Structure 1
Amino acid sequence: MIQPARHDAVGAPAPVGRARLVASITARVLDGQAVAVHGPRGMGRSTVLDLVTAGLPHAITVRLQRLGTPGHGAALIAGAFPPETLDELPERMRTGLLDPGSLPSGDPAVLLGDALTELLTTQAGRAPFVLVIDDGQHLDPLTLTAMRTAASRSLGPGALGILISVGPPEVSPDTGFVPSLAAARELELLHLELLPLAGADTVEMLTAAGVPTDTALWAHRESGGNPGLAHDIARAVDGLPPAEATRAVHSLVRQEALSLSGPVRTTLRRVAAMHQPTTAVLTRLGGDEAVASLRTARALALLVSEDEYVRLTPTALGDVLLESIDSDELVGLHRELAAHADSDALDRYHLALAGDTATTPADLAAAAAETAARGEHDLAAHLYLLAADAGTAERDEWITCCLENAVIGKETRVLQRAIEGAARLAEPGHRVRADLALVELGDVSPDEVLVTALQAAREHPDLQARVLLQRARLLLGTHDLRTALDLARRAVELAERAGRPDIEVEALTVVASVTRTLGDGGSRALIDAAAGLAGPPRPGQVHTSARYIAARFALHDDDLRRARAEFVDMLAGVGPDAGYDTVHVLRSLVEIVARQGRGREALELAGRATRAATHFDTPVATTWYIEAIAESVGGTFERTAVVSGRGVELAREQEDERYLRRQLAHLGLARLHLDELDEAVAAFRELRSIDEASGIRDVTSLRWHTDGIMALALVGEVDEAADLLARVREEIDAGRGAPGVVIAADRAEAEIAAARGDLDLARRLASRSATAAAERRLPIEQARSLVTLAHVERRARRTGRSREAAARAREVLRPLHAHPWTAWVQDRFPEGAALHTLEPEEPEGGDPQTLLASLTLTEQQVAALVADGASNREIAQRLHLSVKTVEGTLTRVYRKSGLRSRTQLAALVLGHGPR
């Protein structure tokens, strides 16, 4: 079914989502290491291999296509070497390599190992090289043994690397399973597993091929991030309406499903019929046969693991597998699953599907209520639907509960039936609750539905309060925050009149959040009042609770110890099945550790959030934002720019202003620290425009302002930078700041002072900022302020103090694994470099001709094309250079000229002098 995943964009240095991996593998094999890249079908192993090979000075490549006779692989490897290398081998060894069948009796593995060792040693003596083997799963056992012998020996002088891709072997006709590759993993190589693509990467890959964003998002979910399968799914549904698209995907997997062996089909049918299937339960049901079946399904890209859970890819595979058995077999399957269920609720669920008459609708509804109380809203939705199907007097209540839980639990398998059932509701209470759930789902026009719901609730103040509160929440993603605040305040009054403290708490929480965003003051007292009224938050609603928002306020106030303790406790309490709650609590923890500079932990937490979000089918906007945060402290700024840039595009398409602001902030941060200053300024100016239109004055939650000030100062827009700084200082003076904001404001003001030539003021501000950051244990802020101080001291020709500040910045970052910041400091102040290599002295008077005369011919050509408005890619094409060379040339130009942006450089070339 799956075609090879040739998913690299034309002209790109690496396929989408694989650049970091390709660079790492290339560096390792050039250093003489042996690397094996493993992955299931369609994951793009050959593409990665090709890209690494393209970056090697000399590679000997062998492509295997099938499992051959003993020694077949060694013969193919030997045949790929230059004839002159083979000619240097003793005749007996050469003959044995090219024709392993001619090896004398005894121990052919030893003889073949010796010959292979001699071949590699001889080639390494002639010139450094890398041996590249594609589809290493087809290596025969004799060759594997010989390679193990060669890999364990010292091969003498000369750099030598080995790179192998290892995919799934062919399904064994005897067992019906994909054989284990334990022998290949025993080779003394570094074994790397090729991981699925992140959602942003799948979307970038598919949209570049003309696939609509919504289809690309769906294909990512259905493929589990497997690029080959994602392409197949997107291709199958291209341009089709929903009903036909469903049939197309069924057709895509039907032949694959029918070709599976009986044991594998049995295991995958259990997966399809189970609710939240886990490897542990499946192994308990099927033993070793289940283990082999799951290994086979993973290798064939039919199943993915998400922490302890497993999921079929695509989802349609489960439908096809269950459709292929008769009703008696299906009943037997559900009875088997009921007997091995981990809870009473699951037992009743499977018994009901098996047609057990002893399981009553009331039993199912009671189990649903208990399950919902534990936060398992997806299972609760199934149970309520089964109860409602009985058609008893409680049907309307149960179908309403089904819809509410399906929306909270993102349980798409029952949503359509719940929506159809809710369309027939008449009682105002049920009707309003259903309407609110539909609005939360996002598939209806919220204004129209909420107006209708408000009319239905006119005699019920508690229902009116819920409708107004829902409308207020929807407005949080728009410019109309004042209206949201008014609606939330009215909801508080109505809830109080109705005697509904639970609704009152929810409304007060929204009032507190909006008040803080608008900078009205009093938000802390409001959230404390809400927390005082609140009971334990409902499962699935923790991320909107007063306790959660109070912890968010602590984070914004830089009370990181308290915030971390609260969120860690929440994470322990939300349970493994609370998808939305889990994702949002993890998001907050990522923000905390990012502010603390703990890059490795940020990436680990972000990975957990992504897996939970994928498993529970929560919106990708949140996970992309989490990934951008984590990448900005533990990954690279290049990757941050890619993810946040894709997030900006998605937010624009979905008209989601909240996530547009969040992603623009990280896009600007990344561009600023990649020296792409014009792009950074554009992002920050858009943010300022949004905030002014919405009346947003908060400077503590989304801290883009000081980054914007620095970007503006660096491109010479000093007056605009000063105006933005004045706004930040106004909020600080009004008591609506936070320690970290004050620290960043001092650093930003130092940049303005330096741009105006007041180096003494810049030095005092940068020093004060660095000292305060150290006292507050904010290491990223401290390092950034020290870098600003180092630049100021360098301009003041205080060489020793500049070096000292840069060294302190490196020392602050050294234990943190904050890789983007470490690389950023190193790029500006290379450890051990002489001061004159870092930033040249500015010529007297800043004469443009003197500045330009100091550039090489290539640097002058690049500068001239920048002045013409050419992009880096256009410059590369016109000068026959790589884009990377153009970027490096521009960096040297900036350092020589003392400039920081394309705008300044263009002005210089055009004779206007530095801005």
Structure 2
Amino acid sequence: MQSAARPESPRTADATVYSRDAELAAVRGLLAAPEAGARALVLVGEAGIGKTTLWTAGVEAARAAGWTVLTARGAPEESGLSFAGLMDLMEQLPDSRFAALPQIQRAAVEAALLRAAPTASIGPLEVGAGTLAVLRGLCQERPVLVAVDDLQWLDEPTTDALWFAVRRLGTSALRILTAYRTAGVADDESYVRKYIAADDIPLENVERLTVGPLGSEPIRRLIRDRYQAVLPLGAADRIAEQTGGNPFWALEVGAALAAEPGVGRARAVAASELPIPASLSALVRRRLGSLEPEVHEVLLTVAMLDQPTIALARRVLAPSVAAPDAAIDRAVASGVVAALSGRLRVAHPLLGAAVADAAPPLARGALHRRLPEVVEDPELRARHVLRAWQGEPDADIAAYLEAGSASAAARGAVRSAAELAERAADCTPITDREDRCRRLRVAGELHLRAGDYQQARTCAEAVWRTGVEDRRRALPVLVEAMWWAEGRHQAEGFVAPLAANTELDAHTRAVVLALAADVGDGLGTPRAELARRSLELFDQVGAEADGAALATALLYSALADLEAGRGIAFEQMNRIGELQRELPYVVSSNRADNVMAAWYKDVDDLDRSRVALLAAIAANQDLGDEPMLVSLYGHLALTEVWAGRPAAARDALDRGIPLISAEAGKPVGMTAAESTLTLFADSIGTTRPRIDSLPAGGVMVASLIGLAALLDGDDEAVVEVLGAALAKARQAGVREPGRRGRFEGNLGQALVNLGRLEEARDISADLIELGTRNHRPTLLGIGHRIDGFAFGAEGDLDAAAQSLEAAVEAHRDSQFPVELGRSLLALGQIQRRRKDRPQAGEALRAALECFEAAGAVPFADLARAELGKGRRGTGGETLTPTEQQVADLVAAGHTNREVAARLFISIRTVETHLAAVYRKLGVRSRSELAARHR
């Protein structure tokens, strides 16, 4: 047989481009300067106007220039087939190109391309990330052209994967050439924005070019060269007018002309000989009517098959055509079917649409009913069964559709899988209630994974309204979809009456209480209590417990332990991980590994947090989960800030911030890390206004505002902001400092400065108890430091020194260098008050080293002030270190009382030092002192 050997179709082999100089210049411009970053050219126009000819010219030019060229052509019969376009694009890539991918991405891409069977749960993110990795690898070797013809028919899973990859390759040597068919060209801008001009390829880097009609002279030359029929200029004018300058229609006129009896070739044709009927579409029907029956059957079969290969077409044609191979050859030779690399395609979309429309409905249905017998892919089989469906419930058809849905889902095409699952439910006979509900539930889960929350809710609600035994399995989908679609309060409003319904069976009630722990029960019951009740009921259910809901209950139980100051419940978290590994889909923010990575820093284990976060980031990069990556980078940045590694924190922010979507916004942890770096980067007089201007952001922002106020000596503001935050946290049952902004040390110090020693000691006692019970040196150090401040304020310098030495000793075992520096600074101040100058200097120099290494400028300023030797007065006298501190604080506007509190000395001592300062510096008032300090 010859068909498989044909290199190209007539549609693509014609390299002549007629009168398209401007369009060809745009194509050449697309391929210029590949190092300049990603760009796209979208050719827009009606069917047959010549977009494909220009597209082919671009493809051939790129190949001639040595580019890597990936091509795909959308087709109406393939628009519902998952990853048909991606298979076209990557068909020629060797297996070695995928072998180098991370395992998750490799498995996802190979499953999507049908190169390997799915081995794990795969979603669109994994396929998108794998596609990105393949394209990025290709771009690193040479420029890449991704060329997609008939973009409007590209299947949605392929479009999603390409959109994911392309918008992340904005700086790569990537070009995109697409042709997009429109009935009219006024409404395609939204399509271009959605699928091509995404975040990393701004709209100005996407050129949209409308391909217009040809004039009469190019049409005359086109017909002459194709059919050797020479038209007079008037005849060409008539054809251009009647066809609207459309080359396809003009060629159909030429084909009809060549077939006219008595009309020879290579001679002029009079206008009276032109076969132009009133309706141009009649030309196509006439063309189809002229085909021999077996060629017509080949054309119909190819038009109705998804991704038809020669081998598949042969099997489909065998019952109705005596010699399928010969018929395929004649169809290719006649120009109505194209053969390329063993696959068949209708030569032009208009021919395919015409032959399909012309076929009687019963004939089309009979063909679709035959196809499941020869098609092996379950999703393909389902598509053909669906097209043959007459609308009546049919258990067999529903089973085909369910199998197709499962196949699409396994390959990561969750949108396609959701559609098929929902149609399977529609096809299910009303008597098969269990089957229908199962299929609807699966459809809801798939819609949720695809981000179609409204449709997920619709499917899950339909299941919940039934009386089937396992309808509870739809509840997690229903509540999750309701949360995302309408907000937490709406979800809580749905869950609240169910949580109050004690007549529900134990299993359903366990699920409901687990969901209430997530969204609330309408009564304000603490999450810990709701999770506890849920777990008690799940214990009664035993091995049949719903895994997703049980994992949710365990998660909120573990969170309650953490917030209560009992640390991480490792046994529960490990159990959650085991349950989640058996689930088809888990919301990324609830995955045990992601949660644990974030929680380590909350319990002061910064080293472990860093390792776990980097591992989670690597895993989510493989998954392509950018929202989760933003969150993880925020946690990593905050970990590095607390660890005194500002460069590493900035690097984490630089990696995470570009991934933030406009809808989601910046996460709190990222804002806190970025703001802390801002606060530490300059003197407090410069940075405090920036911190005070932060938008309200809960406890983390309150903690930063309180710290800025403390560094600026505004103790009243510290107590006002952080006192309210502490009261709110206590009311919510949050005792863990890592979950409430780590503000206890700042609040305790401000309370001491204001003379509220009992309140400060309450905070220190709580920290010391938590630190002792949980072996947390950071908490112990902060608690002892607050006690040291309190003893100093009372004048008991020996007790103050003892407490601060204990704070320093604890902080040497801590992973928070700034906290060590603060305890050393406080110890140095007390030692100076005790006249122990050598030890004071040693402690202050060590504190300065801590602050400088951590990039904490305001704290370093405080340490330098303590170490400063002062300024010389007009008489050559030098201020003592304490006089220098008094002078600095008074010049900054502080009262004598505030200076005494900050330096742990009496007001009388402040007055004595201030008098010496006036004398030595030759000033007579506070205003003169402030002017001298400017």
Using structure 2 for the length normalisation, give the TM-score.
0.49
Q: Map 1:164-563 to 2 at 5 A.
A: 274-275=159-160, 277-278=163-164, 280=166, 288=175, 310=200, 361-362=401-402, 365-367=405-407, 369-370=409-410, 380-381=414-415, 383-385=417-419, 387-388=421-422, 391-393=426-428, 397=438, 400-401=441-442, 403-404=444-445, 407=448, 411=451, 414-425=452-463, 426-427=465-466, 428-429=471-472, 432-441=475-484, 442=487, 445-451=490-496, 453=498, 461-475=506-520, 480-481=526-527, 483-496=529-542, 498-500=544-546, 503-519=549-565, 523=569, 526-527=572-573, 535=581, 540-541=586-587, 543-549=589-595, 554-563=600-609
**Residue identity opposite 1:597 in structure 2:** G
Name the CA distance, whole Å, in 2 between partners of 1:767 and 1:436. Answer: 53
Distance 1:368 1:173, change over 3 A: closer
**Cα deviations across residues 716-750 of structure 1 (Å, max 9, x unaligned)?**
332321222222233334x1451211122222222
Name the counterpart of 2:135: none
| Aligned mates of 1:565, 1:356 — CA distance in 2 | 52
| Correspondence for 1:632 | 676
Partner of residue 5, structure 1 = none
Cα deviation 1:230-263 (Å, max 9, x = unaligned): xxxxxxxxxxxxxxxxxxxxxxxxxxxxxxxxx9
Give the equivalent residue in structure 2 for 1:829: 864
The answer to which structure, 1 or 2, has the higher relative contact order (CA under 8 A, 6+ apart) is 2
Q: Name 1:791's counterpart in structure 2.
A: 829
CA distance in 1, matches of 2:194, 2:880: 54
CA offset digits 1:288-328 (Å, max 9, x no partner): 4669x9xxxxxxxx9899999747789xx99xxxxxxxxx9
Matched with 2:616 is: 570
1:601 CA displacement: 1.8
Shift of 1:781: 1.9
Secondary structure of the corresponding residue to residue 571 of structure 1 = helix
Which residue number in structure 1 is paired with residue 653 of structure 2? 606
* Residues 435, 538 of structure 1: alpha-carbon distance in 2 compared, 3 angstrom cutoff: closer
Structure 2 distance, partners of 1:483, 1:434, is 23
Judge conservation of contact 2:531–2:557 (CA < 8 Å) in 1.
yes
Q: CA-atom RMSD, angstroms?
A: 6.3
Corresponding letter in the other structure for 2:160 = H
What secondary structure, in the 3-state scheme, does the structure 2 residue paired with 1:649 have? coil
Give, in whole Å, the separation in 2 of the partners of 1:382 and 1:799: 76
Indicate yes or no: 2:760 matched with 1:721. Answer: yes
1:744 aligns with 2:782: yes
Distance 1:600 1:555 in 2: 18
Give the secondary structure class of the aligned counterpart of 2:530.
Answer: helix
CA distance in structure 1 between the aligned counterparts of 2:836 and 2:521, rounded to whole angstroms: 50
Q: Which runs of 5+ in 2 are unaligned?
A: 1-22, 37-146, 181-191, 209-247, 249-302, 308-339, 341-377, 390-396, 429-434, 873-877, 912-934
Matched residues in 1 for 2:512 and 2:801: separation?
A: 55
Report whether the alignment pairs 1:582 with 2:582: no
Distance 1:179 1:715 in 2: 69
The structural deviation recorded for 1:709 is: 0.8
1:269 is displaced (CA, Å) by: 12
Alpha-carbon shift at residue 598 of structure 1 (Å): 1.5
Displacement of 1:449: 0.7
Question: Structure 2 CA distance, aligned partners of 1:578 and 1:730?
Answer: 40
1:773 matched residue in structure 2: 811
Q: Displacement, 1:569?
A: 2.8
Partner of 2:644: 597
Match of 2:319 in 1: none
Distance 2:607 2:551 in 1: 25
CA contact (8 A) 1:380 1:402 kept: no
Distance 1:729 1:608 in 2: 37
CA contact (8 A) 1:540 1:581 kept: no
Aligned residue for 2:710, secondary structure, equals helix
Alignment of 1:711 onto 2:750:
yes
Cα distance, 1:900 vs. partner? 5.1
Letter in 1 for 2:159: M
Take 1:556 and 1:405, find their aligned partners in 2: how far apart are those partners?
A: 34
Shift in alpha-carbon separation, 1:594–1:536, aligned structure 2, 3 A = farther
Gap change, CA 1:626 and 1:810, over 3 Å in 2: same
> What is the Cα deviation at residue 685 of structure 1?
0.7
- Residue type at the aligned position of 2:479: L
Contact kept? 2:643, 2:816, Cα under 8 Å? yes
Please give the alpha-carbon distance, in whole angstroms, between the structure 2 residues aligned to 1:640 and 1:303: 40
* Distance of aligned partners of 1:554 and 1:679 in 2 relative to their CA distance in 1, 3 Å threshold: same
**Quick one: distance in 2 between partners of 1:547 and 1:264?**
39
How far apart, CA to CA, are the structure 1 residues paired with 2:897 and 2:28? 60
* Structure 1 unmatched ranges of 5 or more: 1-171, 186-262, 294-301, 319-327, 340-346, 373-378, 651-659, 860-888, 910-915
Cα 1:585/1:709, change in 2 over 3 Å: same
SS in 1 for 2:644: coil
Pair 898,178 (structure 1): closer, same or farther in 2 beyond 3 Å: farther
Q: Is contact 1:610–1:623 with CA below 8 Å preserved after alignment? A: no
Selected match of 1:782 from 803, 820, 823: 820
The whole-number CA distance in structure 1 between the counterparts of 2:511 and 2:728 is 28
1:471, distance to aligned residue in structure 2 (A): 0.6
Residue 420 to residue 786, structure 1, CA distance change in 2 (3 Å)? same
On the 8 A contact 1:492/1:503 being kept in 2, the answer is no
SS of the equivalent of 1:722 reads helix
